[in-house]
Amino acid sequence: MSLLRNLLILLRPRQWTKNAVCFAGVFFAGHIQVHSALRACIAAAAFCAASGFVYIINDILDRDRDRLHPHKKLRPIASGQVTVPQALAFSVPVFGLAIGIAACLGPVVLAIIGCYILLNICYSAVLKNLSLVDATVVAAGFILRVYAGTNAVGVTPSAWLLLCTFFLSLFLAFGKRRAEINAASRFDDAEGGSPETAPARVPPSGVFEIPRMDSTRGVLHKYNVAMLDRFCNICATLAIAAYALFTVLGHPNRSFIVTTPPVVMGMFRYLLLVERYHEGEAPDAILLKDWAIQLAILIWAILYIAVLYGGLHIDVQ
């Protein structure tokens, strides 16, 4: 039972929330029907299995470096609770499950899953060490999720959806890099108080010293805090602008403009957590624990559904 538990941990189920992007096509196209929702669920399940396979390969390749990291050393392979042969043996049925589920949705989704797996193996082996390329590959993974979800339900993704997805995923990727630099820095935590009250500890130069880069991503050498702050701000601005333009240009019903404020507040809140409280190393954890972002998402969803299905209308020129 302990081995089974550790094998399941290798799949990182907490990060499966990313695969909710597969439902974007159904939601934004207004195709929320039982059949469409079921096919979107199957697409999401295929990505859960595919991402699980990728995580196993990544943990095998990174096991020596993970052992030097204060948190990653607890991962099953790095800690020795799962051996490399056991992980490889477990990865085979997980890979087969991903391919089998994707095949149920047709050759296009199967090809998308194949591209996702290949891209992420290249990422784990080489691409994650290339600045800018590392974040772009993460964004490409989300674009593939959107295409898989929309193809599964037979809708064409809008340009606005793809732009919003791309800029938002870049924003999250750069925010994660910033948080990783913070975690690797020599600066001590603020004395006493909670993260809500602790002052930000950023040196005047905006560049953190990385004392143990062998225990972190090698690509962090090529970034600094000031640079990543600019990248995050640019990507947040572009994501908000793309969504705002979608509400007035991407749909004949301009009442969707009412959904823009919670999007803006959610982005601002995330920026606050990244830049002020040094969060962001685990975006999935923020989504699950931060009540302000959860509230912004809830308000946005209620307003969007009210306009799309409830007849909510506001007069906009």
Residue entry with tokens 């095949």: 103
pLDDT at res. 187: 38
Last residue of a domain, one of 115, 131, 156: 156
CA distance 49 to 105: 15
220, 95: one domain: no
80 lies in the same domain as 178: no
pLDDT at 252 over 90: no
Same-domain check for residues 32 and 117: yes
The least confident of 55-59, 170-174, 207-211, 306-310 is 207-211
pLDDT at 257 over 80: yes
* Domain final residue, candidates 110, 136, 156: 156
For position 191, what pLDDT does the model report? 35
Region 184-191 average pLDDT: 46
Tell which wins on pLDDT, 115 or 28.
Answer: 115
Q: Answer yes or no: is pLDDT of 16 > 50.
A: yes
Other CB atoms within 10 A of residue 132 CB: 14
pLDDT at 31: 63
Q: Residue 84 belongs to a domain with what CATH number?
A: 1.10.357.140
Q: Which of 118, 141, 156 is the last residue of a domain?
A: 156
pTM: 0.85
User: Which residues are within 8 A (CB) of 308 and not within 5 positions of it... i.e. 6 or more apart?
Assistant: 30
3-state secondary structure of 198: coil
CA distance 228 to 57: 28
CA nearest to 255, candidates 303, 295, 195: 303
Share of the chain above pLDDT 70, in %: 89
Is 97 a residue whose pLDDT tops 70?
yes
Total domains in the fold of the chain: 2
Residue 150 shares a structural domain with residue 168: no
Domain enclosing residue 132, as ranges: 1-156
